[in-house]
Each structure stands twice: as C-alpha cells, then as structure tokens.
Structure 1
C-alpha cells in the first residue's frame, strides 16, 4: 500500500509535516510533486497551497482556484482516487473540522473500495468524522490506533479475487445469498455483474470475520438486519451535481434546446432519471431546464420522474438537503439562485423541487414511464451483465417519444441496438430514439428478466412460454389502461397533484396567476365546488364519491362528467387520493309538446330563479372574499419568505465565515505545531549560544544601524559600564572606560564603508584590550548594524615585550668586552657577557636564572650592592661609577666600578636592569 496524506495546511507557509512524520516511520516520507509516480511503502504529503489528484498512478498537483475557507482538498483527492483505483481505493478520515472528505468517501464506497473513519469520540476535532458517519459512508468506525488491523484485513479482501471461485459449494452459497436477498427485498441481483456482487458480498463477510459463503448465507437467515445491510451495500449510490461536466455542458447547449424548441405553454416536458440515487442528477437536469426556460422565455411544465431501488436514497432525494461539499460541483451563482443555505448544508429551492417526483422502482422488472422527452440512465448498466443490458435498451426505446433522447454515461452504450437509436454525440453518449415500423415490435419481442434460479429443473420451453405469457399480459394491461381507464390524478389530502394519468385537459386547466398544481384551483367551471366537497369528504371522513354527475363547461358549452374520489388502498391510504373523471353521454332529447305554464307556476319559477341567482351571487361574493383573504395571506407569506431569505442570506454569510474560520483554525494549528518545533530548536540554540559567549571571555556589543545597543555580553562591561536597562539606548550615551579612543566614529565608518576596524587599547590596571568592529550581517546578507568585540591581550603584550627586551639585551651583551649582567625585575640573571664568565670564572649553568646574590659561592651577596639594586628597582634611579671593593674567593681582591640602568618596557613595568662593571685588580 502507498499512503497519501492530505491535511489542511496554511497556503502561505512551508510545512514541516514531512520532517515530523519521518521521525516516526522507517518508510520514506516525501512531499508530493507534480507527475510523481506513487510507489508502495511510501508516504506522500500534499504540498501547501496545492490541489492534488491521482491519475493512472501519478500525482497531479495544481494551484487552487477556490479562495481560502472554501477549498475541499480531501474530497477532491478521494474522488480522483476512487476513479483511478476503483476497488483498490481506501479512504481514511481522521480528526478535523468541517465536512471535507464526506463526498470523497461516498465515491470510494461506490467504487467498491474501503472506507475507515476515526471514532468521533476519540477525535480532537469531530467535525469531519461525524459528517462521514452521519452520511453513512463509513464501512468501519474505530479509534485511530485500531485502524492498522482493520486496514490490513480490508486490504486482504481487496487483494482477493473479485469473483467467487467456481466451486460447487461456493456457487451454492452465493445462490442462497441471492435468494435471501430476493425474498427479503423483492430485488434480484443474479444478473448483476459477478465481480461487483462478489466483491461487495466479500466485504460484508470480512466485517463479520466470515470466509465461507454457506456460513454467511446462514448468518443472513439468522440476522434479517444483515440482509438489508447487504442490500444497501450492493446498491450503487454514487452521484454528484453535474457529474461529468462536459456531458452536462453538451446537454445544456445542444440537446435540451433542440428538445424544448417551439414547445407550447401547455406542453408537459417529461424526463425519467433511472437509478437517481440521492437525486443530485435529477436536480441538475431540473436546474438546466429552469435556466433554459428563463433564457428562452418559455413556461411549459416540466415533470421529472426520478426512481431508484434504495428507499434511503430516495428519502434523501425527497428532502433535497445536501452537505456543504457540493460547492465543488455547483457554481456560486447556482448555489445562490437554486439553493437555500442552512446550518449544516444546502437545501434545494421549492421551484426546482416541485419539478421532480421521486419514487422507488426496479427498472429491471417494473413498467417504465412512457412518452418521455429525455431518459437519463447513467452508471447503472455498467453493473449489469450484457444479457440484462440488451433487454433494457429496447425498454428505453419504448419509453421515449419519437425523437426523444437517451442519455448514458461514458462507460455505457446501446450495444448492437443501432436500429433503435441514432447517435447524437458519441463521446458524451446522447442517442435519439427511432420509432419506425422495423422497430415497433421490439419491445414486445424482448423477454423480461427471469431470475436465474427460478426455472430450477424446468425445461427451457417452459421458461420461454411463461416469458411470452408475461409479456403479453403486460402489453394487454398497458393497452387497457391507455384506451379504457378514465383520466385521473393522484393527489394528497389537500388536492395537490402528485401523478397524472391520461388526458385531463377537459377537466383541469392551469389557473390564472401564480402557477399551482392543486386540482381544486385548476378545476374548470362547474367542477370546483363538487370537487372541493368530494376531496374534503374523502380526506376527513374517508367517504368515497363515485360517479357523481356534474355539468362542466368545456369548449364553450357544458358536458356531463362523472367525478369519483377514492382514498388509495395500501400503507398510504390516509395520505393519497385518486380523483378520476369520465365523460357521460346525455340521453337523446325527445320532442315534447309545449304546454302553457300556469301563472302560479311561473311565479314560483321566477322566485326560485331569483333565489338561485341570489345564492350564486352570495356564493360568488364569499368566494371572492375568500380569494381576497387568500391573496392577503399569500402577500403576508411572501413578506415572511422575503424576510426569511434575508435571514438565510445573513446566516449563509455567517456560515461561510464560520467555515473560513474553521479552515484558518486548522491551518493555525498546523502552523502552531511547526512553530513550536522551531521554538524548541531556537531555545536550544540560544542556550548553546549563551554558554558559548559566557565561556569565551570576550566582550561583545551588538549595535543597530543607529548605533543603539541591541545586546551585549558580560565581558563588555569592562569597556562600557552597561546594565540590562541600557538595551535600546544609543551607545553614545554610555561613557567608555578608556579615554581617547573614539570607537563610535570608527563604528560609523565601518557601517558606511563596510571595512572592518581594529585597534589595541590600554585600560586601567595595565590591561590591554584588542577592539574589533565589523558589520552585522543577517542571513539574507543585509547590513543591519555593527558588532564590537573586546579581547584581553595583556598576556600576549607582555610576552612580546619580554621577547623584544631579551633580544635587545642579548644583542647589547654580545657586543661588549666588559663584564655585563642583565637582570629582570626580581634581580634574576637573564644574560651575562662573555667577559663576566671569564673574569669571575663561572659557567652559564651556575649563572642564568639565578639571583645575582646567589652567583658563585654567594660572592656577590654584598650588602651595599643589594641596597643599590633594590633602590634602583623601587625608586627608578640609576647610578654610575659606584666603587665596590670585595675579596672574591677564586680571583682575589677586586676593586669594581659599577654602572646600573633600569630599562622600562611598553607595558609600564620594570623589565630589565643593566649592570656594567669596570674591574681594577688592586
């Protein structure tokens, strides 16, 4: 397996996530790059400010088009993963805010892959996990530390063969599973593709740790809830708004304008969306038709029949409520125009919702809708075996009007049925229905779907005979309904139309004003009162109205109509009504002899006519008052709706701000973790730097461009009397210890010329310091001040001075012929002349490094000489021609004239005493 991480990163900062993850895994962790081929046992991390997809195993990176706070990078990648890897895709949702990732898991689940979601209770931020769990797109919900075991188990299932092995036991177990599905749900999956069915059954088996199909069949029999769970697993509910953008663009620009051209206002444009899932595709077509009618100023009626096997999916479609992630598929203009923003998503507006009717239907065995202008069946037949596909194509041809259009997915086609359809767009799979004599009987000769195990041991002739009988029965029922069943409508308890059968134009017509589908408001003159009373009686008391004869005004005259209103039987008997209309032929008028009416009769007739006219006027006035009241209520309702829309708009802005804040919060959390790591590194570096500066005993002062103090080390106080409060003050305000050295002038010169400066300074106590001034450079090589360093060089100065003095003394001594002794400050002999060795008969070993009083046998330990030398050292005096007479043990009595001088070094300390001698023998 390869691992791709798509966290919400701050687009303006580099990410340290790659480095952080590399510390806890031996697999290589790589920041994703464009066109990078994905390899197993590697971790790929999305780069900041990039959208990522996968195509043929290579990562595709692009710059996002959406603004911050509206991006859904996880949904985008998981969708591409589902399309690219199909059943080998695995989606994992971990802690995070918002709803990003929910639609991506839906795509992976529909492709047959595996979806894992962190248990919201264990997540630090439960927004994303909770959204995926509520939507029902998680095959496993578990804590993060439990996911590896689940992932490995699921990977073994994904890697296993997609088709159940052709063993008698395995085939028998599969057959038993399909039979239980048919018995429990009424739907037969035997002619679905074996690879798809086998993979999804195996996935359910792995969740229960079952390996044998026979065992799983028994488990289904003992656990009815698992049958329904498996049924939902086998249904393919993957769709999205305007799925396949190019195909919907062709539908809007080419197909629909041709189909809707020159349609009158009373025309009913009929669409069937087979396998509608949760309704996104149906609403997409409704939105396109609404946009087309607005652009062409047409106002015909649109009826979109959307059907699917999945009752749960139909319930979602009827609600018309979708998560915020649809912003990836729906433009901002369409969101504003056709959707209402609510707390946790978007709800389709009423004008679009009323165009679509949702129903549960099995397209394989249930009768199709007929007289369709457009039939949309996308990504349904790809899951069916070719035999079943060949049976459905003629059914679709029968359902379409002549010239109607069949809309398939890019992976589907009409197969060999070219005589039934002509191609309009091969790439986007649009086909026009042909209804000529050669294809008229196609639907009749097509056998219906027969469950593979139903025939058992029966002969093929029996199956064929029963197929033909069933087909004739269906055809007979359709013909009888078409020619003998009365025109009828199915309504709710308020009279709102839900389904129309037959031609109802003689009895119902669009009411003036705002469009309405209520049959009471649409009733023609003479029918409204009786229809209102009949619907009220059926809705409130369950009373049937059967064949009530009413005079209805049609085509300028009155005709007799039989009205019937029945509550529909079945589970929804209290919710639906069947209203039917049937023309009644009046008896032939027989000639009658005229008879003069009596005056009393004429008076009574006039009185009754007067009363009838009064009642009609009163009734009409009451109706007008009621209508006026209704108009006022409608007006008030419109004002409330307007206020509600304003509130919803405000709420939408707040929700958008909330989403942006959530996204920014996630980015801040990521940046904060990275900054925390940097802070720790900086703290460690600062500790190292502090210990380094404290131990090198160098005074350092950092100055900015205005020669103000940035910081300093403790050794710098030997030159400037600095305190911690001086940081930020100009260095010119601090008086240096050394007078005469203008370091500020030198610092300004270095700042201007960038040429380093160096000088030696002597401070109090005889200490020498080396001052250096250099430019302060940033990591970007910018000059941002200067650095002053002060190094103690006293010992070095002393060493140099001693070396120079010694060399000088040795040079002088070597040139003299008289005895000469060079002493240091402690009266130790540094060097002597050769004449001294010769005259006093001593060796260098006995002389050099010894005090003068210790030379020989202490022969120079003369009190007078000691007093003179110590005075010279202490009082800086010299003496000349001082006479010393002394008896030397080895050479005898001598009279010596001494001359002494003190030589002072550069560092101000006595360094040498030169003692010259003139020797007289007597």
Structure 2
C-alpha cells in the first residue's frame, strides 16, 4: 500500500514495499533484509518474442559482469524447454535450469522450469507447483515480488518482449523497495504489450533497447547502493549533501523531507544520481539547482505508489471476523459508518476494505437486520495515484491477490483488465490530502494507515499517532501494518490484535478534546508521561445567552423541531404529556410518537405546513392523558435554514379550564344549561372537523393511490420493455454462443492442420539433416551480418569450427585456406545477389570449389548467404594431366605443320610455273620464285596484300573474283580460265588460271592455291 510521509512544511512521500516485511520493529521494516547477497540479482521476464530478446541481451552481456540472471519466460507447461540449450550459444556464462533450494551465484544464468512457480528467499531459489489455472498464472509478477522483498534496493527487474501485463506489478514492488526497473523499448520489441503496460503504469526507471541494457547494468553496479549496503545512519559528510538536495526539493516543490528517514531517502536520491552518472550529492544538488525539472522528477520518485489488494490476507480476515462485526452491531439504518484510509495510493486498500464491509452488509441483509450507511474516505498526496484510484481500473494481474469469488462479485472484466463495480466505487470518496499538514477526518469508526510510520523519524511518528486518536470516535479502531506500532502512546489505544496491529481508541477526559489543527497535538511529554489537557474557564458567563435560556425554560411552550417528514431533530422542554415512545421498532417520527388525539391533527398540520409557507397557529385538539382528555393548542411554524432544509417547529400549549377556546362563546356562570349546550356544540364542531379531516385524508389517499397506480402502470410498461430487450439480448447471446462454438471448431481444425504441418516440417527437417550429412559438401549458412547460423560437418575442413561458434561472425573464425579471404566476396554477393564461384586450396593441398549464393526463403526474402565447398581435387588433377597432354599434342602438331610447310614451300619453289596461295579474304599468303620472276615483283610487294591489288590492279577482274569466291565458299575448282591483260613491266600476256580450295589439318583455315600458265 502506498504510504505518504509529510513533514512540518507539508512534504509527503509514498514509499512502501510491495509486501510489507513482517518484522516487529518499524526501523527494521524500513531497511533492507538482513540477508542480502553481495551482488545484484537480475530478474528478467518475457513472453512472446522473448527468445530473440534474451539472445540479444546475452550477446551484449560480458561473462564476468559480477551479476546473476534469473529468467522467467512464459513456457508451455506440457513440453520440455530447450531455452537453456538455445541461450548457451549466446553467452559464455553457464546457463542452467533452476532447481529447488539452489543458491544463486554470480556470472550464471538460471531459467525457470516449465509448469513451475519460482520465488527467492535469502538468495535461494524456491520452486513450487502452480495453484492457479494455466491462463491465470503470473509467474513474472510472483518472482519479481519475492525478489523485491528479498533483495530490497539490490533487486533489478527487466521486462522484455511479450503480450498482456505480466510483470507490471512485479516492477512496482521492485520500485517500491528501492530497486531498478528496466523495460525494453517497445519500438524494438517483437510484441510490445508487456513493455507498454510497465511504461504506462510509470514503473520503468530505464527504457532501453535490449542491446544497451548490459552496459547500463554495469554502470549501476558501480554505485554504492549495489556495492555495499547503506548504513542505517548517514555519515556527516554525506548528510551535508543530502540537506542541500532536500533544500532544492523544498524550494522547487514546497515540500520538506527533513523528517523522513535518511537511509531510505538517500537510496531514492542515489537512484536518480545513478541515472545521471553523478556520484556526489553536492554535485547532484547543484544539478537540481540548474535543472528545476529534475527536482520535480525527484519529488515524484519519492511519491512511489506501491500497493495491492488485500495485503496480508490474514489481517483482513481478523478485521472482518473480530473487529467490524462489533463496530457494526446495533447501528441503525440511518447511521453513517465512517472509514478513513490514509495514504491510499491507487486505491487498492480502500477498495479492499469496501469489499469486506459490503460482504458484512450482505450478511446483515440476509439476516434481515438493517445495515448502516458506509462512507469511506481515501486520501493521498499523489494526484496521479488518486486519478487511477477514481477510475477503478486495474490490470489482470490482480487475480493473484483477489479471490475468484470476489472478482466475480465486485469486478467487471474488460479488455484492459478488471474494473470496480459501481456499488463499491460509490462507497469510496477519493481526495488529495497531506496526512500530516492537512486537518484529519473526524468521528471515524475505522482508520486504516498501513506502512506509513515506518518511514518517519520518531519525532514525526509521535505527532501522527495523537492525530489518528483524535480522528477516531470512542472505541473506534486503528488498523496499522504488521511492521508498525503505537508503543510511544500506549495510553491512547487498547490492543485488539497485536499480531495484525488492530487497536481500539480510548477516549478519557484528558484526551477526548485534542484539537485538529495544522500543528499536530502532542499527547505526551518528552518524559513519556501523559499531558493533562486543561481548559480555561470563562471569567464571566455570557449574560445574553443565560437570559435567553432562562426565558425559554420559564415561558416557552414545549416544542420539537422536525424535518418535512416529521422526524424529530431537537426537543425543547418537557413534551411527555404530548409525545411518548411508540411500541415496536424505535422511531423518532412525531406522528408515530404522538399520543391519542394528536396523530390526525399532526399529520394534517405537517402536510399543510410543508406545502405552504404560512404557519398554523393555535389549533385546538383534545389529547388523552392519564385516562382522560385535555385540550391542547398546537402551533406549527417553518424555520429559516441556510442549508435549504425544510425545518418545522411544533409547539404544544395546554388550555386551562377557565380559558375560552378561540371561536367559542364565553361561558356564563349562573346559567344552568348554557355550559352544557356550549360543550355539546364544541363536541359537534370537533367531530365535524374530524369528519372533514377524514374526508380530506381519504381524498388525498385516493389521489395518491391513483398516482401510484399510474406509476405502477408506467413501471410495468418499462419492465415489459426491459424484458423484451433482455429477451433480444438473450437471443443475441445465443447466436453469439453458436458463432463461438463454430469458431472454436474452426480453431480446432486449424490447430489439427498446424499439428500436421509441424509433423511434416519435422520430417522435412530430418530429411534435410541426413541430406546435408551425406552429400559430402561443406555448407555454411550465414545471416545478414555474416554470423554463422548453421554448418555441416564437412565445413570444418575449410574453417576451424566448433559447436559454440554458432552465432559468431565468420570473420572471427580461422580458416584452412591458403591465402584466401572470402569475406569481401561474401559481402559482395549479399549486396548484389549475384552468385559467385571460385576454386580454393587448403593447407593440406586439397582443392575445393567455393560457391556463394544468396539465402532465399520460401517467400523470396534474402536472409543471408550460403557458402558451399565441393572437393575438386581429383578433377583438378585430371584437368592438369589433360592440359599437359593437350600441350604436348599441340607442340607435335605445330612441329608437323612446320615440317609440312617447309616441305610444301620447297615443292612450290621447285615448280617452274607461277603459283600463289590466298587466304579466305583473297589475301596473298605466299608465292613461289617463278611468280616473283615472271611478274617482276618482290615478296614485300606481294605477301600480305590483296590479290586484286597486285600489279596495279591487273588482277581485279570481276569474273575472276566471282570464280575465286565460288571456289572458296562452294568448294568449286577453277580449270583453264584464260586471262589476257597488260602487266606492268612485262607487257601483254595471255594466261590460263587453275585454282583449288585447300583445308589445313586443323580444319579451320581455308586457302586457295592459284596456278598461272602462260600461253603467249
């Protein structure tokens, strides 16, 4: 329960742990438990998407951080968890599944087993079988609460990716104990339900991406709050800096925390200092002076609201069974049962008391006992907490604290969680109040203030307890926490239950009139003795007041003041002759208490006076007293009231026998029958008035009956309409039920299909494993950062891989390749998506074909690259031999061709007729000596030139060109072609040309052999 602490100037703090430690002394409750580990214990909770977050966290976490990590994910209770095996690949720290009674050690990771709940006590993990149904379990909240109670300010809670709200209440407990709460940035979470819930509730001290959390933990581990336990007394050197900080807070917010326990407030301040990397309080005080916003944030840090429903359930059982029935006994229906919950935080404790009282009211109603009216006042200094309390909306996590019966009875379920029903909400009035500075509520039957005084200095405690005593009625009950007591003021209270701290107020003469002022009263002296409260008597009586009282007593008639319905509010004088207690249930209505003869007149007079403003004066009525009737005058006047109430003053005055009633003739003594006649007429007039009244009453009754009948008809029509709407709603619900049943069947079908798909994928995975193991090709699967995702056993021949290398960058692994670095080529393929191949050689001389291809999913999404190594040593050796054989064969062919060419050249040169060899482009390759001699040209002028260009174009004859083209392309020979032409230097000649197509041994080069024969 959040608790507020206020000082003389109005400072207030709400700082209570999630579960109040059950210790006898207040000081013990305000400090950390005696058994605290010498290192921080980190509780990490996650749900959907938590595996990726866990891996990212431990990738960035060093193995020698000096901290212990306890993981609480949501696991399937029916399947064995593989989380420890998976996370072991991400960290060098040992990752183990938690076991019962195992002491937590630093630099280790503990994972909760499936279908277990886990808590921690004195640094030892405790496992238990869950009691709640599968869908209602909150394992993260449960562990973080126990961590906060066990480790106090050393506790650190982290919430990662997940759905719903599990972990929010656990962070609230850690924050209240002085620990640190980290939440994954929702933008980086796969599912942001749990992070968003913790952030929106205001329980996140750090919102970071997962990768940055280990670095922040290392920084926090350097602060004093984690290095060693704070002393109970702050040293003088630190006290000066603390006072400077408090001075800045007071100047910025108007609240003074000087009377708050220094050890606790120092922890709160150091937590803010750690967030700004400030180690000296004096420096932090200067920082506050330069940054006014930080002072307000620090003030909110000191107003942490930590509470839950039905804290200490046994205390509420004692309150319900032993205390409240006694307080409620004998209370009438119009009695207002007043309760004050001081420091209500977000309203859980106020609503808890309201639910207990409502249950008692239901029991009284079943026993047909009139129950009183309940009024609960719940106050807190934190306006934000009051806003939450007024809304009455709470997360689903409250199922851990509220029984299913109370959830059904007092809450309605919505998408966000649970909402308090209207009947409970209307019982509680929430308000912002400083419990120390502001005046308290008074005339209380019950005052609940739990876990507040343990955070106050003794001086402030001694001032607060008398205020609570003053606020309570005689025999009212004070309800404290198990860590608080009233030992400094035993004379003010009587203990009802010392274990659960229930006390009854004792109001003696000296203590019943304590003033409720801003400066709280002191009921004891410094020596501890009660202070006798003396009140000064007035030196002289108020003469006007005494005179008025004497006149009223001597001359005013007996009268009563009533409301418009006749309920008596005040009695003046002796009204016993006219009013008497009515038999049956006690009633204070003037008509019920009127004696015989007055009831009809009073009822009529009250109706008349309520409807009209004119008074009714001196109405004569015969009243039966002491066996006879006597005449009485009744007067009814309306009284002015500033509150808008209709108050009536009813006066009674006896008529003496010698008095003449108004409107009656004067009695004459000496006339015999005259008085009798007058009495008879008076009796007749009285009977006529009674008859007229009865008629008027009957008419009014008839009119009221008719109006009631019309209202009943209208109500009946409304009920019929409501019934039809309910029937329509019922039909819609039936339809929705059928739709839900159909949807359920579809879900079952989809579930069966998914199970079949899972089995199929399992078979495919097995086939793929055997395929990769038997293709004798090394394969490496790399992600976008070229980190190893998976590899086959043959890949170790190219890279020196071990099982723990999965997840590491490939560049960090030493390869067995000779001078080969595939890193750049891998990145190129990843960037361009163009596959690449190359041959590589290992240190042992083996050759491999390295093929790099993009890794494509079934959705054609690139998620990395695949590197395969196929051994090609045998192929490489065979290729080398074939290459050498081809080289030798080519050399032999070259030598043969050279020999043949030399032979052919010799044969051509020995021929006496001119010969020329042309290539496919009719370019001269060679010619014999007869050609050079006959046409008087040189080799330089002939070889390498076009045949048509020789001898100044003498051979450029179209018919000859066509014949040569046909000979080359169509393998046609030229026989006996005659050519006459004037050749430069030799004159006119007549030649016969013969040509043949020649193919070389390689079958690629085409040549033409042209022979020239001179005929004149």
Q: Is 1:32–1:45's contact at 8 Å kept on the other side of the alignment? A: yes
Q: Partner residue of 1:718?
A: none
1:288-367 paired onto structure 2 within 5 Å: 288-297=356-365, 298=369, 299-367=371-439
Q: Partner residue of 1:128?
A: 194
Q: 1:307 to 1:652 in 2, by over 3 A?
A: farther
Q: Is 1:102–1:137's contact at 8 Å kept on the other side of the alignment? A: yes
Q: Is 2:389–2:430's contact at 8 Å kept on the other side of the alignment? A: yes
When structure 1 is superposed on structure 2, of 85-94 and 216-225 the one drifting more is: 216-225
Q: Partner residue of 1:159?
A: 226
Q: Deviations over 1:549-576 (max 9, x none)?
A: 999xxxx9956343336xxxxxxxxxxx
Q: Deviations over 1:482-537 (max 9, x none)?
A: x9xxxxxxxxxxxxxxxxxxxx9957999xxxxxxxxxxxxx999999999xxxxx
Q: CA deviation at 1:264?
A: 2.5
Q: 2:80 aligns with which of 6, 10, 14?
A: 14
Q: CA deviation at 1:593?
A: 10
Q: 1:222 to 1:44 in 2, by over 3 A?
A: same
Q: 1:640 to 1:109 in 2, by over 3 A?
A: farther
Taking only aligned residues, the RMSD between alpha carbons, in angstroms, comes to: 5.3
Counterpart-to-counterpart distance in 1, 2:427 and 2:288: 40
Q: Partner residue of 1:79?
A: 145
1:509-548 paired onto structure 2 within 5 Å: none
Q: 1:564 to 1:393 in 2, by over 3 A?
A: same
Q: Please, which runs of 5 or more residues in structure 2 have no aligned partner?
A: 1-66, 523-530, 539-544, 546-560, 568-602, 617-633, 666-694, 778-1016
Q: CA deviation at 1:234?
A: 0.5
Q: 1:472 to 1:627 in 2, by over 3 A?
A: farther
* Residue 256 in structure 1 maps to residue 324 in structure 2: yes
Q: Is 1:338–1:348's contact at 8 Å kept on the other side of the alignment? A: yes
Q: Deviations over 1:31-58 (max 9, x none)?
A: 1111111122211110111000111111
Counterpart-to-counterpart distance in 2, 1:529 and 1:142: 75
Counterpart-to-counterpart distance in 2, 1:654 and 1:184: 60
Q: CA deviation at 1:115?
A: 0.3
Which has the higher relative contact order, 1 or 2, with Cα contacts under 8 A spaced 6 or more apart?
A: 2
Q: Is 1:390–1:415's contact at 8 Å kept on the other side of the alignment? A: no
Q: Partner residue of 1:114?
A: 180
Q: Partner residue of 1:34?
A: 100
Q: 1:434 aligns with which of 487, 501, 506?
A: 506
Q: Is 2:338–2:376's contact at 8 Å kept on the other side of the alignment? A: yes
Counterpart-to-counterpart distance in 2, 1:641 and 1:421: 54
Counterpart-to-counterpart distance in 2, 1:584 and 1:222: 67
Counterpart-to-counterpart distance in 1, 2:292 and 2:711: 54
Counterpart-to-counterpart distance in 2, 1:620 and 1:183: 69
Q: Partner residue of 2:257?
A: 189
Structure 1 length as normaliser, TM-score? 0.54
Q: Partner residue of 2:211?
A: 145
Counterpart-to-counterpart distance in 2, 1:617 and 1:442: 56
Q: Partner residue of 1:563?
A: 641
Does the residue aligned with 1:26 lie in a helix, a strand or coil?
A: coil
Counterpart-to-counterpart distance in 1, 2:760 and 2:110: 22
Does the residue aligned with 2:134 lie in a helix, a strand or coil?
A: coil
Does the residue aligned with 1:563 lie in a helix, a strand or coil?
A: coil
Q: CA deviation at 1:152?
A: 2.4
Does the residue aligned with 1:65 lie in a helix, a strand or coil?
A: coil
Q: Deviations over 1:721-746 (max 9, x none)?
A: xxxxxxxxxxxxxxxxxxxxxxxxxx
Q: Is 2:161–2:189's contact at 8 Å kept on the other side of the alignment? A: yes
Does the residue aligned with 1:69 lie in a helix, a strand or coil?
A: helix
Q: Partner residue of 1:448?
A: 520
Q: Is 1:51–1:64's contact at 8 Å kept on the other side of the alignment? A: yes
Does the residue aligned with 2:272 lie in a helix, a strand or coil?
A: helix
Q: 1:268 to 1:440 in 2, by over 3 A?
A: closer
Q: Partner residue of 1:92?
A: 158
Q: CA deviation at 1:167?
A: 7.7
* Residue 201 in structure 1 maps to residue 201 in structure 2: no
Counterpart-to-counterpart distance in 1, 2:739 and 2:97: 35
Counterpart-to-counterpart distance in 2, 1:558 and 1:631: 40
Q: Please, which runs of 5 or more residues in structure 1 have no aligned partner?
A: 451-467, 477-482, 484-503, 511-523, 533-547, 566-578, 598-609, 693-922
Counterpart-to-counterpart distance in 1, 2:94 and 2:203: 31
Q: 2:463 aligns with which of 391, 396, 399?
A: 391
Q: Is 2:563–2:646's contact at 8 Å kept on the other side of the alignment? A: no
Counterpart-to-counterpart distance in 2, 1:531 and 1:112: 63
Q: Partner residue of 1:371?
A: 443
Q: Is 1:364–1:449's contact at 8 Å kept on the other side of the alignment? A: no
Counterpart-to-counterpart distance in 1, 2:649 and 2:140: 65
Q: Is 2:564–2:648's contact at 8 Å kept on the other side of the alignment? A: no
* Residue 287 in structure 1 maps to residue 355 in structure 2: yes
Q: Is 2:438–2:518's contact at 8 Å kept on the other side of the alignment? A: no
Counterpart-to-counterpart distance in 2, 1:153 and 1:313: 31
